[in-house]
Amino acid sequence: MNEFFKIDLSQLSLFNFLGLAFLGGFTYLVMYIFKNYLVHFVIKSPIKRKRVISKLPVIYTLVWMLYVLYTLYIFIRPFPFLGVLLSLVFLYLGREYLMNLIHGLFFRLKGDIDLGQKIAVDKYAGVVHKMNVFEMEIQNREGEIIQIPYSNMVKTEIIKKDFSSDFSSYKFSILVSDEITEHDIKNRIFQMPWITSVFPPIVTRTIQGEGKINYDIIVYALDEKFFTHIESDLKTSMSLPRETS
């Protein structure tokens, strides 16, 4: 018990500070290299890569939380009683931020709400603008940015104005004869069993010339595994060889 109240500054040295600095720098470097380089080599599928990249901010938050906890342990170890006391004071004063942080991790990992989605929380409604560490930002019709703490979102009902994030979207291009219209393409897409009827496909004409038209197409599928089937089927039915998107 006496060890708990004992102060032993010999456990804290310059090497501890250098070690923490090195660990923090190394952690940042690894995460930077993975996000900007390794993820492109490790995950070949653009669809899966996009999903992984969207989860990286949450994973990085967890990593830095572990780093902060380890740093606190290093500084508490020389004087356990005072360190624990200061930690409890810190947790009490920052309890609201801590709750927002924890709830934010669950919200972002769950993935039920996505950027660009229309939602209503309590008396606020708008489009999801950002999902920060402690709060979510939505933009209302007047263009105002409203910050809603995650802990507040747990206590109230969240109404989804659209369900686009519940379905997997896929974008690709197709080159067809100028005799084929947007209506023809949409009709063919609607005949596919892999397409959700909740959201219509978006067909946009981009380039026209020499008897051919290029269309950019966005479809909402029941599952990501159907993306290649949708593109292949559509391009085959349009009697043109498949192109890479």
Q: What is the pLDDT of residues 196-217, one digit of tens each?
A: 777 788 888 887 777 888 888 8
> Collapsing DSSP states into helix, strand and coil, what is residue 218?
strand
- pLDDT single digits (tens) 163-201: 555 566 788 888 888 888 888 898 888 888 888 777 788
The amino acid occupying position 6 is K
CA distance 101 to 105: 6
Helix (H) or strand (E) holding 124: strand 124-131
Full-model pTM: 0.62
- pLDDT single digits (tens) 41-61: 888 776 677 778 878 888 999
Helix (H) or strand (E) holding 42: helix 39-42
Task: State both tokens at 218.
Answer: 């966005």
Confidence of residue 149 (pLDDT cuts 50, 70, 90): very high
CA distance 63 to 142: 37
